[in-house]
Structure 1
Amino acid sequence: MTDYIGFGMLTPVTIMTVDRFPRHNTGAMVKEIKEFVFDDAAIIACCLAQWGVDAGMIGTALGNDPRGHRLALDLKQRGIQGDVRFTNAYETPIEVDVSDRRGARTYFWQRTPEMLATLDTADLSMIEGARLMYVDWYDGESHITRAMKEANRLGVPVFLNLEYGHKDIHLLKRYAKHTTICQAVTDAAQLGKNRGLMMTARKLLNAGIEIAVVTMAKEGCLVAQGDQAVRIFAPKVKAVDACGAGATFSSGFAYGFLQGWDMERSARFATAAASLKVTRAGLDMFPLEEIQSLAAKLRVEYLAFRDNQFVKIGKIIAFQQKNLERKTRHLAHRIAASPLIPKKKPQEKKK
């Protein structure tokens, strides 16, 4: 049995870092090259395994070729549980990601309907006994819903990466009934500000999501549950490779969830893990102690859900204090004006 199960696309990836992404029909000098296992469900499995979590993967079939067999061996060597299936119907896909030092990453990927359709025949027995299952919306609703329903039947919480898919409210509602944790972004380019963060979180909660996680790259995140929310601000770091930062955040939040941490501690850890990840190429995780040390130093704001909107706790306390002071003054004036209160007679000056 495993604590974490990832369900989704499997592909090897080559990550290249450059100073600046080249213009069309030109080139750039590559600074570093790293290889890893993608997509996000597999990234998270590999990240969690580095932190000592028992992790497994139910993925798409790989081509029966050297690239596919190398990936299967890589998963095994990383300690990821699960049987990898092979097919002669297509070659193993590959993804190439180019990260620049401004924090951007550009990706080139292969994912055909034929590849994703192999999720429909995957054995789901590994889900039983797991404590969390992760799925990605970009693998397709028709392919991931079967696994989500099976997790629901077995009482396994589902972590859905919805990105900007919440823009389709009908899709959000269909996913929400199967989802415990939903990670989203304000928009495709993650350009939304604080208002966008809060509106997105509110939309997820109103749809029935239990824990709403909204990320905004270098601006940090907002995590909401019930009528409470925390806003975590990411530290300033020198970006080298932003590829996989979102999945690293998911890994950190999943780790906190599996440890039984509250949403603030989980969000702090996730933000710290993702921030440290972008400072070097590849997806070798920083030690837990180093991540926790940074997490403890992050700036945080506390919010509460009032009148169908999130309000900073500090503002609520200030409003309540002013309201109390106003009521106290009003009461004092009423008492002073009451005919039941005897008026003090002016005292004669002593001679």
Structure 2
Amino acid sequence: MTADRPLDLVCFSYLATANVLTVDAYPRANGGTVVTEIAASLAGDGPLTAVTAANLGLRTALVSNTVGGDPSGTLALAWLDQAHVTHHLRPAIDKITPQLTIISDTRTRTWFAALHDAYTGLAHVPLDLLGRARLAYIDCYTVVAGAAERAIRNAGTTPLLLNLGGDTPTPVLIDAANERTVLAVQTSIDEDSVDTAGDVAATLRRRFTTPTVIVTVGRHGAVAVTDDGIVRVPAPTPQAQIRHTHGAGAAFSAGYAHAILSGADLPGALAAGCAAGTRHCTSPGAPIPVRPSAAVPV
């Protein structure tokens, strides 16, 4: 980053690596299934959003916990550096890089987290980058609500995109958000609950002082509630096989942010987000390199 090239987007979230195992169907308890693909990935949503947005051409940065000096930490930092994501991270020899194992089929995912001190590490990270961008994306999961509140309060006048990740926001987080300029609040619901998307968005909009609340609904696209009513944008028809669903919401956020920062209106930005999410789920290369493998029984 240079003085004449300010950041477009800065993302705040925990940083981890993930192993994404793709299956055709989940096994019953004490049963087994076959893994059809194995992928290595970044996690959580913030790092994936930063990398995807960088691949779309935005100048991005990541504010997160540090990683260990182990191979997983080296890989995580290499992904950020290859995408030219600005960060102040250095591997810590005395730490273990947080990791997730994610089981994914074409519609759902289940995760197992070994996040060590990723959450607590967020409570102490420097936040100066949040006030030096055109837009700040902040993950507001329940487990990092305290750190997210601190990030929101330290963002200054930077407009915010808050990602709830399907969680219920805490009152303290809402209070902090309502003292800042929140461009949009984003959350997600299961595809089977698509009929409730409008109500979910409307409920959140009553709690947040924001012009837009967005609910992503997987293959059904996205629903937004604004002063002018409800905007529904379907996801585009995939032009290739859905390979995984991990990171689809983060890809949506990146596509939406890129479009908004490029001057798009809300329907156009929602469409761009949906297109980015679909592209992410069908592509073997962006932003996680899917490595086809021989079928492996679990």
TM-score normalised by L of structure 2? 0.84
SS at match of 2:249: helix
**What is aligned with 2:188?**
185
d(CA) in 2 for partners of 1:230 and 1:216?
13
List aligned pairs for 1:35-184, cutoff 5 A: 35-101=40-106, 103-112=107-116, 114-138=117-141, 139-151=143-155, 153=156, 155-166=157-168, 170=171, 173-174=174-175, 176-177=177-178, 178=180, 179-184=182-187
Q: 2:274 aligns with which of 235, 248, 271?
A: 271
Pairwise CA RMSD: 2.3
- Higher helix proportion, which one? 1
Deviation of residue 246 (structure 1)? 1.2
List aligned pairs for 1:322-337, cutoff 5 A: none
Q: 1:18-63, CA deviations, whole angstroms, 9 ceiling, x for partnerless residues?
A: 2222333333332222222211000001101111111111111112
SS at match of 2:260: helix
d(CA) in 1 for partners of 2:198 and 2:33?
39
- Check 1:22–1:272 CA distance in 2 against 1; reply closer, same or farther (3 A cut): same
Q: In structure 1, list runs of 5 or more residues that go unmatched.
A: 286-351
Q: In structure 2, list runs of 5 or more residues that go unmatched.
A: 1-5, 289-298
**What is aligned with 1:259?**
262
How many residue pairs match? The answer is 277
Greater Rg over alpha carbons, structure:
1
d(CA) in 1 for partners of 2:86 and 2:23?
34
**What is aligned with 1:334?**
none
d(CA) in 2 for partners of 1:74 and 1:271?
23
d(CA) in 2 for partners of 1:251 and 1:236?
19
**What is aligned with 2:26?**
21
For 2:113, give the aligned amino acid. Answer: W
**What is aligned with 1:206?**
206
Q: 1:200-247, CA deviations, whole angstroms, 9 ceiling, x for partnerless residues?
A: 222222222221111111222112322243111224444321111111
For 2:272, give the aligned amino acid. Answer: F
Q: Residues 137 and 162 of structure 1 are in contact (CA less than 8 Å); yes or no, is this contact kept in structure 2?
A: yes
**What is aligned with 1:323?**
none
SS at match of 1:133: strand
d(CA) in 2 for partners of 1:135 and 1:230?
23
Deviation of residue 64 (structure 1)? 3.0
Q: Residues 17 and 281 of structure 1 are in contact (CA less than 8 Å); yes or no, is this contact kept in structure 2?
A: no
d(CA) in 2 for partners of 1:146 and 1:172?
9
- Check 1:98–1:280 CA distance in 2 against 1; reply closer, same or farther (3 A cut): farther
Q: 1:269-299, CA deviations, whole angstroms, 9 ceiling, x for partnerless residues?
A: 11122123222456439xxxxxxxxxxxxxx
List aligned pairs for 1:282-297, cutoff 5 A: 283-284=286-287
d(CA) in 2 for partners of 1:115 and 1:198?
33
d(CA) in 1 for partners of 2:246 and 2:285?
8
Q: Residues 32 and 281 of structure 1 are in contact (CA less than 8 Å); yes or no, is this contact kept in structure 2?
A: no
d(CA) in 2 for partners of 1:283 and 1:204?
31
Deviation of residue 169 (structure 1)? 7.3
d(CA) in 1 for partners of 2:164 and 2:101?
22
d(CA) in 2 for partners of 1:182 and 1:257?
14
TM-score normalised by L of structure 1? 0.72
Q: 2:250 aligns with which of 247, 255, 271?
A: 247
d(CA) in 2 for partners of 1:91 and 1:172?
29
Q: 1:310-338, CA deviations, whole angstroms, 9 ceiling, x for partnerless residues?
A: xxxxxxxxxxxxxxxxxxxxxxxxxxxxx
d(CA) in 2 for partners of 1:235 and 1:70?
32
d(CA) in 2 for partners of 1:77 and 1:280?
18
SS at match of 2:192: coil
Deviation of residue 74 (structure 1)? 2.5
SS at match of 1:241: coil
